[in-house]
Amino acid sequence: EQYILKGINLEINSGEFIGIMGETGSGKSTLVDIMMGLLQPNKGKLLIDDNNIWDKNNILYSWRYSIAHVPQNIFLSDSSIASNIAFGVQTKDINKSKLRKVIKQAFLDGFIKNLNKKDITEVGERGVKISGGQRQRIGIARALYRNSNILFLDEATSALDNLTEKNVMESIRNYNKKATIIMIAHRLSTLKNCDRIFCLKDGNIVKTGSPDEIL
């Protein structure tokens, strides 16, 4: 009965680090779901290199496949830390050197080093055996393991303390210099290294600019 987003018109360049901010209910997550090709808008188009992703299934599927997504609430299976990072990969096929690298990038190495079974420690159903911050860092490590060219972060560092978040964000920024990163965040400090920020209010983009201009 009511449109969540109204007259949104924006362009994102390959390799940009984009921040999206706004109050709860402003339409941030809906906008990201449309960008990822999970929701089809009632009107308008989502163009990737001038191709509307909804015109052909192969464009839609290849777009979705190119994305790594870290939501606020990470799904973890009742298996090991390693299996949850290399999600969907058979245990015997996990690339160990790549696994070690992303564990370090997500600042999980200190936590894992103190565990008796290291990265084969079971996390429990939905990660009940570990903290919220550790779950989020496993989600970030999972996205980095995929090494995708497009990374969506939806409140992906909300459970981290300020110092850990700062370190993790620097790692994310440096992990793939060519990656396009789109991040929703409430904490203004999280967005200070973005190239541009879109500020949403009541389904409209009310302000666009650099972190200095917006924050």
Residue for token digits 């936590």? Answer: 111
DSSP H or E segment with residue 200: strand 196-201
- As a whole number of angstroms, the distance between CA 139 and CA 123 comes to 13
DSSP E strand stretches across 58-190: 67-70, 150-154, 180-184
What pLDDT sits at residue 169?
Answer: 80
Residues 142/106, Cβ–Cβ less than 8 Å: no
What pLDDT sits at residue 18?
Answer: 94
Using one digit for the tens of pLDDT, what is the confidence trace for 132-161? 788 888 888 888 888 888 999 888 777 777
Check whether 42 has a pLDDT greater than 80.
Answer: yes
* Confidence at 130, pLDDT banded by 50, 70, 90: confident
For 69, the 3-state DSSP assignment is strand
- As a whole number of angstroms, the distance between CA 185 and CA 203 comes to 16
Report CA 21 to chain centroid distance, whole Å.
14
Task: For residue 169, give the nearest of 146, 144, 200 by alpha carbon.
Answer: 144
Using one digit for the tens of pLDDT, what is the confidence trace for 6-36? 889 999 999 999 999 988 888 888 999 999 9
Residues 37/182, Cβ–Cβ less than 8 Å: no
